Chains A and B, each alone.
Chain A
């Protein structure tokens, strides 16, 4: 270890020192320790030590003062699982805590952080609950999966609210939030001004989102955490403050609530007027470890996983069957075959994303716009969040049918509610999409109806180049991206329900809305992919697979350059694609002030560890698909990684 300061004297011919040393290995200080010396062990598991005896050849006495594990700014998450039947099982329970004096009749404040990975959640998971009359303060709400919302129940009717973030139903309201990021909820209750009830103010990420006025008093009660039902969400840093006097404490806290969020980093509780009465700080890797019940060894730090791939087959009407499949590691399925007949698309195994890559006469899918063209898949929309990406090259035609609306991706059928998601366009007009069927909510029509936004004429897409369309549905929010840029965004109100009919490509059911042009690489994620700064942008910049003629890649001048901010789990996965279609030529990951890591001519699977700490980087390249993927995954929330990748 290195000495960084020193002050010593001798007493009765023995040395004493006030000295601080730093280094990553405390054992290197054992041979020459001086009584009174302080040692700061740095590195991935920092600790503070002191020597209470001067070393001799026979003996050393260095004692640990404290493990330095509670880092300022950390938000440590623990996971409430999503296992078992929530009506009968408690296997998703994280932790139960009661304190009979936690909630007082004067009110209280609680604040917590949570991370929803967007995966399906069991309905009715009770994250926080008062044991007085079973008032559910927070619970998961969706019967079909996580919808990015938390319900604040039994708080009576809102007197005012932000319609963009809060929906009201009876005596509860639901707050919408963004999945796959850390969010903070702070809830402030206080006795109402007239003394006849209670009122609550709720903040999402530091922003006031609603007031509720109750008809009943706040009764002294326990607060139960993660009780009974599963909820499939990660929570952390739960702090409670109670108003045990009337000295203006609550109002003082309320004024400071936005500071708790502090632009995405947790401020320290002590900046408030009073320390929390109750505080649960969950740590999966540091501090108190609170594992899921029954899975004590499992850490549930949320990382964005690699989606599994489906296996597909193309059944030609001439009897020829073509199969193509990906693998669990994320390799895209590919098919290189010359087929000349009408094809039916089927998938064999579950998982996502669904990727269709199909060649016809060594080219992409060509649709004539005439009756009979188009493809029938067996993919049925699952319901809930979804992302669909498609590359297409529309063509103008003298065929009178082309003046009608055409569908690129559609489970629409006429005369009913069967259609859940359909998008396409209309020549001379613009782009078109519906979510959840025309009778429930037609969110766009040629880019103008309902939304009032500008029309983007489809003629702009008739320039002979390939163009990318991405539709995302996140809860009730649907977005439409053209060539990587957001074109429209609208609240569908209903979200997207499970479909009943398979999706058609290049037309709708009933052989209607026929598309004239070329389509390639339709990808479906059964999750919302609009979760980071550049996720969708990356999808666009991946370009269409280069296994067919006429590929037009994005300009290489921007390549794939990205800075990761994985401390907030926004972009733990980075995809880099090579313009030349060979391999990743040069990639650099700059991990803070650590040394750079170079990857050159990657091929196959490459696992490497940097020479710093125990960070685990995973890099792999897929030369067969001419695509490279780099995943940079943090092991701990305290790790911060910045990365630059160029292809």
Chain B
């Protein structure tokens, strides 16, 4: 599933200290549930992203455990508290061992 996986993140570039900012992220992934069958009746094996984390300057914002019931192209929206300038690090963990990473900078005034 490593091919064609693109992560997209939308987080503000600027904020004031102590502000709660909204973060949205989306990643391309089929999220094959392991429940479907192909035309011959064979079960299509499960292949999903099973974990997603967001850290801000090394501090955890959210750590999500995903199950097969999450839709294709998993989307999350959540809030982060920013007290200082820094970097959001986003990480997605695939069933097949692949790890996808994305980062977003924010300047706090």
Same assembly:
no
User: Which B residues fall within an 8 A CB radius of A?
Assistant: none
